[in-house]
Structure 1
């Protein structure tokens, strides 16, 4: 504490255990200081940050904003800076001028390397599999686009495609694309539909907002074909974790942010394990973390095969 400036030195690793401790203590540290004018986060000794760390920083930024206390960051190394840059946090967490001197020393190769999180994110073979699968999937989408578009338009007025902001790797926001399966004012009507799930996600087996054609699209997973574009541009992977909405993420405890250490998937453990019957958010987290623990290229291929088996089974699709 110096002249009303609280300096907090962050740990060498800001991963789940450290992130939980930082987030739970942050508000208390601010409350203990009288005449607080500014808070500085000193990253000088921090070498690694993962999605849980990003979640803790998001919470700290919100707390500082609520208390109208300026928050700044010092001495970011390349991994921490890249993590903040790719998630957009550098726009709301200013980096002080004296620490920016570290950044021009980065080589072009180092500057393009992603932050250290899960090995699947750095796998060139997995990315190649994603690109190849996305190109095939987009070819199928092109062939089916006209009949699906016609069915959607005849059944319900409104756009053919539906887009929504989701949270991807490291919590970064991206726009997901689907064939529209609900009425056009579905978001406005959401509050009138009972949520049958427990925790930070929404599900209703008989959601009245879903159109007749929409139920067929969801049953066959054809509504998700446009997401091959998200896979092609790198927002998603063929296999990964369930893509979450920002509304869901705002309800996350810090440990739940671990699911963002990998890219969200067009399919994954949640898809092949009976996504229609999953009602508890803790089950979603358990499946996402199981995927991270078991990940290998062979495991991805196994889940791709299981996805096709589920799609062609009698009980496939989302309710």
Structure 2
């Protein structure tokens, strides 16, 4: 049986949506009656209160019809947010059309206020619920039991991802491999081999998993896969997932097109060129100037504190490599002693990758520990963003010495502007291995979207406040 808690997730999300839509309706009514831009109230209160129940119910129904309560959209990806926005726009169009056809005296001010407020609150509610679900899954709740089927190499890749991203909620029980690997007890990642691919039905009967995950090499032909799926038909609670030999590709770049009974997968081109478009540049400039206008008193205070602490410069200037290998001067608040570069030889840097950051670096000053804890040392980089040398969101800006050690794949990080924050920042920062940092940056470059940038910025706030991986 599927975990009972997993079945309750759509109801949990539905309750949050109901609360958010109700709150949006109440706020829209109040603002319509109190904001000075609306001159008369008339019978607005009476008409809107009578219609508000219909609005709320219609909105919830549209969210359901658009598939926002399907379990597969919870917890990861941007599909959930896109469905919520699409369902909300459709609801707005439907309400407006019905009010016109029925000649109902609906307040235009209330209508204009309701849907922007409602969409914003719905997205906030979904972000909160997603964070709750991810934390619960990381703690071992709401997890789904998974059996992997395929060759040991591909199983190892999938197992590594599922183990690393525990918030996805997949608990791997073991794996099945082709009979060619008879005698294999465990994969290279330590996963127990439960039997052969041909034993899927028997293993499912015995262990009752929630998901059977077919990776590349699981079967010899599409006919064999179809027959295995037939064997599992009477297990209504068992999902079948087929993982193609494609990783780190976002859903926005994938299109499934059935042709003559073949589900052909079309992969869109890398979106690295889109990440340098004018819309992103305008967003960066406006965002950076807005943040600077808000934080300049804090920035001035921190610069004075750093200057008075040891008499050294408040800003630390360092050469970094930007888009297409162009070097620029990256600005940061100085968090280390003035002679930090000379004292580098005293430390014992890790040799496993080109990054080095110590949790007990003696060169970090007292103000430096504070500003590093909350990433305040990066605030001056807002000026780099205004100057067009960096973006608000992008790969980590590397040092020239790091770029010299790049392999060919890593050079793709230089196809876009480096960012003040990015997937590496919201996924653990200095706690990440070098391989994970590269993987996340390459994923960002190839799968850029404005929605993803907005989500990264939202997650950056929580990552900074929680000080995850910051030292």
TM-score, scaled relative to structure 1: 0.60
- What residue in structure 2 maps to residue 209 of structure 1? 363
Alignment of 1:257 onto 2:411: yes
Contact 2:271 2:445 in 1 (8 A): no
State which of 292, 301, 315 in structure 1 corresponds to 2:445.
292
1:178 offset after TM fit, Å? Answer: 0.7
Contact 1:152 1:213 in 2 (8 A): yes
- Structure 1 residue 229 and structure 2 residue 352: aligned? no
CA distance in 2, matches of 1:184, 1:242: 24
Q: In the TM superposition, what whole-angstrom CA distance separates every residue of 1:246-273 from its partner, at most 9, and x where no partner exists?
A: 1111112222111111110000001000
CA-to-partner distance for each residue in 1:108-141, whole Å, 9 max, x for gaps?
A: xxxxxxxx98223432111111001110122234
Q: What does residue range 77-96 of structure 1 map to in structure 2 within 5 Å?
A: none
Work out whether residues 275 and 449 of structure 2, in 8 Å CA contact, stay in contact via their aligned partners in 1: no
Aligned twin of 1:193: 347
Residue 151 of structure 1 pairs with residue 334 of structure 2 = no
2:323 counterpart of 1:172: no
Which of the residues 271, 275, 278 maps onto 2:425? 271
In structure 2, distance between residues paired with 1:174 and 1:297: 25
Cα 1:317–1:161, aligned 2, differ >3 Å: closer, same or farther?
farther
Secondary structure of 1:242 counterpart: coil
Contact 1:117 1:261 in 2 (8 A): no
Matches within 5 A, 1:94-173: 118-173=272-327
Does the CA-based 8 Å contact 1:134-1:232 persist in structure 2? yes
Cα separation, 2, equivalents of 1:159 and 1:256: 34
CA separation in 2, counterparts of 1:227 and 1:182?
17
Distance 2:400 2:385 in 1: 20
> Contact 1:141–1:226 at 8 Å: present in 2 too?
no
Listed as ranges, the matches of 1:58-77 within 5 Å are: none
2:448 is aligned with 1:301: no
Q: Which runs of 5+ in 2 are unaligned?
A: 1-269
Contact 1:137 1:225 in 2 (8 A): no
Q: What is the CA RMSD across the aligned residues, in angstroms?
A: 1.8
1:247 aligns with 2:406: no
Q: Distance in 1 between matches of 2:307 and 2:356?
A: 26
Distance 2:295 2:465 in 1: 18
Q: TM-score, normalised by structure 2?
A: 0.41
Which runs of 5 or more structure 1 residues have no equivalent in the other structure? 1-115
1:233, 1:222 → 2: CA distance?
20
Q: CA-to-partner distance for each residue in 1:87-108, whole Å, 9 max, x for gaps?
A: xxxxxxxxxxxxxxxxxxxxxx
CA contact (8 A) 2:276 2:416 kept: no
Q: 1:276 to 1:122 in 2, by over 3 A?
A: closer
Bigger Rg, which one: 2
C-alpha distance in 1 between matches for 2:310 and 2:424: 30
What is aligned with 1:311? Answer: 464
2-structure distance, mates of 1:316, 1:216: 14
Q: Find the aligned partners of 1:133 and 1:157 in 2 and give their Cα distance.
A: 32
Where 1:186 maps in the other structure, the secondary structure is coil
Paired with 1:222 and 1:139, the residues of 2 have a C-alpha distance of 15
After TM superposition, give the deviation of residue 316 of structure 1 in Å. Answer: 3.6
Shift of 1:302: 0.7
Quote how far apart the aligned CAs of 1:197 are.
6.3
The whole-number CA distance in structure 2 between the counterparts of 1:121 and 1:175 is 22
Change in CA separation of 1:282 and 1:304 when aligned onto 2, cut-off 3 Å: same
Report 1:29-68 matches (<5 A): none
| Equivalent residue, structure 1, for 2:44 | none
Change (3 A) 1:117 1:188: farther
